[in-house]
Amino acid sequence: MDFNKEPLKKRAITVAELYNALTERLGVSLERLNKVSMNRKIVERDIHRPGLALAGFTNLFTYRRVQILGNTESRFLKQFTPEKRCEVFANITPYKIPCICITDANDFDEDLLKMATEARIPVFRTSLSTTKFIYLVTDFLDDQFAPYQIFHGSMVDVYGIGMFFAGRSGIGKSEIALDLVERGHRLVADDAVVITRKGESVLMASGTDVMGHFMEIRGLGFINVEKIFGVRAVRYQKRLELVVELMEWDSKTEYDRTGLAPKSISILGVPVQHIQLPIYPGKNITVIAEVIALNYLLKHYGYDPAQELDKRILEKIAEQSKGGKKKKFSFSANKVKCNPKKDRAIEYFEHDFE
């Protein structure tokens, strides 16, 4: 499967979308100070504080960003006479600014508001501090302009671990996801999975607005997992932590049998652990998927069974070497070979034959 697709990115959002998200979804009290159209486009995820631009230095003025007037900018404007204040504010009004947001409930001069209205610049005011407001706006814009891509596969939350099943069409990804749901795990998306990069190292997965939690089962057709199994069987988003690639068994292919050298792949520039799982008729992939998730949790909390076994074997070799005894340990075919009569875990069974 090709995970090296070029990321997609939203080109722009409107000021109205930003305003609605802040007021309705995030509960920010944002007052509209003028009644101008909010259809202006926001094309950058960063914000700008136009202190230098107000002072007259506009060579590097990033006017296409949301402009924040905090305590510093407000007090800078207040120190001037009304005439001079308008002259200073006129340094930025000729530019096509998406919107201006005033924080800390600072006053905004009526003459300046009139200038902004004439320039068709939406002006808002909030009682939030500049730091808090910038955090909320930046977080929302970062999400909206985050790189994303759509991949073919099934995304399931298994024991709290986001597991993406990949593989050729028809290999059984949806059936495995359905079996996991029946065992109490939660479906995130099937067939078309939208993976979005949040920040620099987090990948979030979700379904498409059309598919939702519908699933195609070959020979049966489409089913709605949420309607059949209930709301407890689905999730709308989940962090991607593991990619399990289903591969048809090939006796000539060498598969990982120790787990000492885990593989990873890059999705949208973020490394993700990659497990290639050979399958054949009769193999219980669902249970193996659960074990993969539990093993990942163990490693996350500091216990690596492969390294632990490797450590025990090396200690045994060192112990035998010190005692002057020669004992052969072989890693042939990635399996340890030793004498079962002398190396069993139980020294004496004590008549307990259960």
Q: Which residues are catalytic?
A: 152, 173, 191, 257
Under 8 Å between Cβ of 28 and 133: yes
d(CA 249, CA 195): 28
Under 8 Å between Cβ of 283 and 255: no
Enter the tokens of residue 247.
């591969």
d(CA 190, CA 195): 12
Phi, psi of 288 (to 5 degrees): -60, -40
Tell me the C-alpha to C-alpha distance, in Å, between residue 175 and each of 151, 178, 187, 238.
18, 5, 12, 20
